[in-house]
Amino acid sequence: MSKPIAAVTADTLLADMKPINQKMADYAPRPLLNALGRAGILPIVIAYDDYADPEEFVDTFDALVLPGGPNPSPRFYGEEPLWCIGPTYEKRDIFEIALIQTCLKRGKPILGICRGMQILNAALGGTLWQDMSAQNPKAFIQHMQKAPGNIATHYVDIEKESRLHSILGDGLYVNSRHREGIKKLAPSLTAAARSRDGVIEAVEGRDNDLVAAVQWHPENMDPALMDPLFHAFADRIIRYK
């Protein structure tokens, strides 16, 4: 039996670097590719293409992974950018939103990580806090941690009725590298975990298990703790394949 294939959308290195071919280099995080590989998934990295429709990519993979990256542009959930918003990259937003919508139509599983959870929520009709420290007075936890990115810094409580609970249990400490967060949850999603200041930390599809996403970066945490998340994703891909 061939391995399931998961497309990982690429981020783009915009720094003024040399040689010139690295100035706009597309890439995906190596720890994420390794985590997928340990779960028996064959990852392929796909970047947006100015000369093809996103829908043309979908026949080349079995599932979609939306990794971390820059803030989704507020225009995709009907808002103007606030002065405090971090970097955005609209070409990636457009590409990922089209891939999300096509994968859902075609019944292909999706896993979102950090920004991936946010663009998923925006694509399905939800909204985001552009900067929780400026907009959400209830968010008292340090969600943009100052500790190294692989260190777990705050606790999340996992909903007992969620599918995530069967994978990770009642709760755990996670790393946290985000200034934005879900404000209005998309109608087709349900919250699967929250931090203790009420911020949504994981989501799932309301009607089926096609979609799942987490706000933290599991690929940077202890594999013994987080590999079950990627193995569960592999199981979903095989079932839908």
| Position 17 pLDDT exceeds 60 | no
Q: In this predicted structure, what is the pLDDT of residue 87?
A: 87
| Position 214 pLDDT exceeds 90 | yes
Distance from C-alpha of 182 to C-alpha of 180, rounded to nearest angstrom: 7
Q: In this predicted structure, what is the pLDDT of residue 86?
A: 85
pLDDT, mean of residues 73-87: 94
Using pLDDT thresholds of 50, 70 and 90, give the confidence band for residue 21.
low
212: part of which helix (H) or strand (E)?
Answer: strand 211-214
Q: In this predicted structure, what is the pLDDT of residue 207?
A: 94
Q: Residue for token digits 């590409």?
A: 95
Q: In this predicted structure, what is the pLDDT of residue 16?
A: 58
Residue 32 CB partners (closer than 8 Å, separation 6+): 8, 43, 65, 67, 113, 219
**Range among 81-85, 136-140, 199-203 rated most confident:** 199-203
Which CATH class name applies to 5-240?
A: alpha beta
Which residues carry out catalysis?
Answer: 114, 217, 219
Instruction: Retrieve residue 79's tokens.
Output: 């808002």
CB 227 within 8 A of CB 39: yes
pLDDT, mean of residues 23-40: 92
pLDDT, mean of residues 115-134: 96
Q: Which residues pair with 127 in a beta bridge?
A: 184
- Parse the chain into domains and list their residue ranges: 5-240
Using pLDDT thresholds of 50, 70 and 90, give the confidence band for residue 18.
low
